[in-house]
């Protein structure tokens, strides 16, 4: 190439599927790749594969806006997301791959009395659990993020904000690539362009294999990590899940010099923003209002978000937008994920992360690896059962999910 980048070795083996494996993970997003990595690294399973219908990291992992935080309300979620946040701290060293984790602080804005009360409740809950989170006055919020418009005369004035200083961003592609390279080096087969079309079962009803576009694969253990497509894949085994799938959109501006020191989110007015290392402002919306598998999304959702962004950060008003895109997010009724066993022996599922699973990637992979490898949930994902929608032991994180959905 004209840049001189020639002859670089492939970072992972482009494997062809073998006829049989000890376990197969469906979906090579960050969660699936992390699962395979920890299954190999921590549980010694090497005869395993990750099968991916497209290209590795091309799903929501490559489409998300990379916000990382662990300021959730309930103890179950605090344990899960904080497990992930702990693993983010030294992920670059563990994988020997720079994932550019940047704990620059994640601020969530309150615009009405309800927001103030709910966010203060989160701050108290987090601090009781030993998780950093603090309440800022409008002036303190402006001191932390000087481009914020804290005027009392805007349509939704800022009444205060929470700040999790360990929150921040990371480079999404690098997370997928880092886990892929490390897993491949441990012997995991990563098979791209391999769509799962069927899940086969033996006479007892247990999983016996997968039908894929690259042929049948025999295996007694399958972990489905197919965000945006979970309902379809699980239906192949006759399992119905309480999921609704929505488009979620994001967009980036033309690159500018550093101007935005942290992440700012506002659930109430459906907008959030950070600045990438390239200089682009990374902006996102709430979900589209209807269920759909169209990644296009409604234009009015993006324009409404830009209205809110322009009011919150008036100095960006003349910037041009470079690109916009969408991903499909699988949302559960309590806005918490499902990570665990299913009614089908040998079939495990990790899904329902909705708008907020990127931050959980290392923790999710770590506990799901334990679940698939041992057949039993890790203590951290034990509460995140499918069964909770029958027993009523829900983990309601609708407020902490932060992005309106
Ligand atoms: P994916 O990366 O989507 O991986 C699933 C894979 O399964 C895909 O590659 C897909 O091709 C594959 N697959 C599906 N069906 C099959 C099949 N039949 N056979 C084989 N393979 C199959 N979260 C945050 O924490 N912070 C954010 O700032 C954030 N921003 C977001 C912004 C947007 C616009 C979107 C769309 C999402 C955002 N999220 C965010 C959510 C986050 O992206 C997801 O929760 C997370 O990336 C899910 O990871 P995953 O590895 O499970 O899914
Ligand atoms: O979960 O923090 C989040 C998030 C931000 C943008 C989309 N999801």
Minimum CA distance residue for ligand 1 atom 18: 196
Nearest Cα to Cα of residue 83 among 384, 404, 392: 384
User: Across-strand partners of 169?
Assistant: 67, 102
Ramachandran quadrant class, 104 (left: phi over 0; alpha: psi -120 to 50; beta: rest): alpha
- Could you tell me if the CB of 34 is within 6 A of ligand 1? no
Separation between Cα atoms, residue 314 and residue 308, nearest integer Å: 10
Q: Starting from the CA of residue 64, give the closest ligand.
A: 1
Is the C-beta atom of 81 inside 6 A of ligand 2? no
Confidence of residue 6 (pLDDT cuts 50, 70, 90): confident
pLDDT at 7: 83
Q: What residue owns the CA closest to ligand 1's atom 23?
A: 356
Average pLDDT for 100-118: 97
Distance of CA 28 to the CA centre of its chain: 13
Q: Where are the alpha helices (DSSP H) in 19-74?
A: 30-43
- 41: helix, strand or coil: helix
User: In ligand 1, which atom is closest to the CA atom of 195?
Assistant: 19
Atom index in ligand 2 nearest the CA of residue 248 equals 7
Q: Is residue 359 lining ligand 1, measured as CB closer than 6 Å?
A: yes
* 47 Cα to the center of ligand 2, angstroms: 35
Residue 334 has pLDDT above 80, yes or no: yes
Task: Confirm or reject: Cβ of 67 under 6 Å from ligand 2.
Answer: yes
User: pLDDT tens digit string along 201-218?
Assistant: 999 999 999 999 999 999
Nearest ligand, CA of residue 191? Answer: 1
Which ipTM was obtained for this model?
A: 0.99
Residue 405 has a pLDDT of: 62
The pLDDT assigned to 5 comes to 75
The pLDDT score that the predictor gives to residue 123 is: 98
CA distances (Å), origin 128, targets 121, 163, 290? 11, 16, 37
pLDDT for residue 275: 98
Please tell me if the CB atom of residue 267 comes closer than 6 angstroms to any atom of ligand 1: no
């Amino acid at each position: 190439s004209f840049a001189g980048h020639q002859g670089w070795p492939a970072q992972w083996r482009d494997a062809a599927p073998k006829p049989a494996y000890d376990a197969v993970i469906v979906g090579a997003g960050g969660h699936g790749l992390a699962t395979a990595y920890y299954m190999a690294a921590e549980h010694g399973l090497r005869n395993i594969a990750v099968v991916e219908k497209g290209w590795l990291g091309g799903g929501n992992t490559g489409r998300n806006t990379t916000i990382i935080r662990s300021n959730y309300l309930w103890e179950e979620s605090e344990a899960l997301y904080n497990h992930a946040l702990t693993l983010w701290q030294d992920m670059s060293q563990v994988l020997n791959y720079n994932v550019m984790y940047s704990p620059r602080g994640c601020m969530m804005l309150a615009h009405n009395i309800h927001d103030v009360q709910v966010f203060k409740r989160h701050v108290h809950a987090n601090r009781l659990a030993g998780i950093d989170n603090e309440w800022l006055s409008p002036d303190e919020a402006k001191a932390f993020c000087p481009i914020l418009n804290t005027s009392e005369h805007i349509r939704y004035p800022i009444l205060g904000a929470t700040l999790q200083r360990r929150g921040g961003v990371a480079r999404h592609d690098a997370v997928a690539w880092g886990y892929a390279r490390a897993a491949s080096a441990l012997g995991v087969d990563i098979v791209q362009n391999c769509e799962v079309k069927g899940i086969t079962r033996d006479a007892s009803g247990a999983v016996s294999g997968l039908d894929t576009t690259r042929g049948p694969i025999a295996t007694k253990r399958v972990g489905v990590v197919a965000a945006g497509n979970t309902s379809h894949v699980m239906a192949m085994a006759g399992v119905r899940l309480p999921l609704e799938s929505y488009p979620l959109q994001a967009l980036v501006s033309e690159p500018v010099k550093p101007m935005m020191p942290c992440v700012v989110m506002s659930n109430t007015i459906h907008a959030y923003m950070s600045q990438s290392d390239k200089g682009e402002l990374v902006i996102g919306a709430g979900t589209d209002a209807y269920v759909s598998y169209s990644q296009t999304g409604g234009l009015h959702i993006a324009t409404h978000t830009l209205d809110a962004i322009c009011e919150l950060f008036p100095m960006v008003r003349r910037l041009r937008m470079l690109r916009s895109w969408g991903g499909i997010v699988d949302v559960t009724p309590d806005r918490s994920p499902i990570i665990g066993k299913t009614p089908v022996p040998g079939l495990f599922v990790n899904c329902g992360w909705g708008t907020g699973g990127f931050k959980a990637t290392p923790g999710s992979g770590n506990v799901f690896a334990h679940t698939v490898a041992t057949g039993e949930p890790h203590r951290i994902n034990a509460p995140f059962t499918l069964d909770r929608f029958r027993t009523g032991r829900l983990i309601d994180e609708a407020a902490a999910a932060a992005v309106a959905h």
